């Protein structure tokens, strides 16, 4: 059932609480879902930031390095087989140059700066415990979203932050188009986490769950959650929970 004003009954009644969001997180976890990516990323606290796969990809460094390797291979083929291969080599060479420039632009620009700031925040000494509920936007095959709550609150606690995470790629292609859907996070739908470095480049900090950092793409603070954009986002995240609640009633 749709709602004319775009908001769920939970939002209209002001009942976006820990109990409501965690119930939706557990409901989504029980659905058939894209597979979680296996394996753990390199701990950013022990290596340089560019050794971490997600930060390397986000910053544009992976794109630049892949393009440079491709350029070298194409040039090597041209040197090996002579001028007759040039008519077929110019297109991949041109694409490689363009991608290398694009990757370098991202690395020198905001994406590279953000990746370095996130790495610095993840290594910060101070930590803030939070309870979390993991939901997806949209619920099946969507981007992972952590809804954060005070560590010492009860079931009626309201969210004080939301972190939209950098999507994780699928570990393998299970069906056509699966590679375009982000993988699930390999964590429990409800639990506790540590936020590090909220003052070190990421407004809401970098969440650590079970010793693994998860990288925020966007964050919403308490003020933003009460604004129109925040309310629209929460209505979207809880839309299916509202539908199921109305059916049950």
Q: Tens of pLDDT along 68-95? A: 999 999 888 888 887 777 777 888 889 9
CA of 92: how far to CAs of 1, 57, 64, 65, 194, in Å? 50, 21, 14, 15, 45
Cross-strand partners of 163:
146, 219
As a dihedral over the C-alpha atoms of residue 202, residue 204, residue 205, residue 208, rounded to 10 degrees, the angle is: -140
Question: What are 150-160's pLDDT values in tens digits?
Answer: 999 899 999 98
pLDDT of residue 34: 65
CA nearest to 32, candidates 182, 134, 140: 140
Give the predicted TM-score (pTM) of the model: 0.81
Among residues 167, 197, 49, the alpha carbon closest in space to that of 113 is found at 49
Closest CA to 20 of 190, 200, 144, 188: 190
Q: Quick one: pLDDT at residue 247?
A: 39
């Amino acid at each position: 059932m749709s709602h004319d004003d775009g908001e769920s009954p939970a939002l209209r009644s002001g009942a976006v609480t820990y109990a409501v969001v965690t119930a939706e997180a557990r409901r989504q976890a029980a659905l058939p879902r894209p597979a979680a990516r296996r394996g753990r990323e390199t701990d950013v606290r022990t290596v340089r930031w560019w050794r971490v796969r997600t930060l390397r990809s986000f910053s544009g460094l992976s794109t630049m390095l892949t393009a440079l390797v491709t350029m070298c291979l194409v040039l090597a083929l041209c040197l090996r087989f002579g001028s007759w291969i040039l008519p077929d080599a110019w297109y991949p060479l041109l694409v490689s140059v363009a991608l290398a420039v694009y990757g370098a632009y991202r690395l020198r620009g905001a994406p590279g700066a953000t990746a370095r700031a996130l790495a610095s925040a993840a290594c910060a000494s101070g930590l803030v415990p939070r309870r979390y509920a993991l939901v997806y936007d949209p619920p099946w095959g969507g981007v992972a979203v952590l809804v954060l709550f005070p560590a010492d609150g009860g079931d009626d606690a309201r969210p004080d932050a939301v972190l939209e995470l950098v999507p994780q790629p699928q570990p393998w292609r299970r069906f056509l188009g699966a590679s375009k859907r982000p993988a699930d996070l390999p964590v429990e739908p409800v639990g506790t986490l540590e936020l590090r470095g909220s003052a070190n480049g990421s407004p809401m900090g970098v969440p650590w769950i079970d010793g693994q950092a998860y990288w925020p793409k966007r964050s919403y603070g308490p003020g933003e959650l009460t604004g129109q954009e925040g309310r629209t986002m929460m209505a979207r995240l809880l839309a299916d929970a509202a539908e199921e609640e109305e059916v049950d009633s």
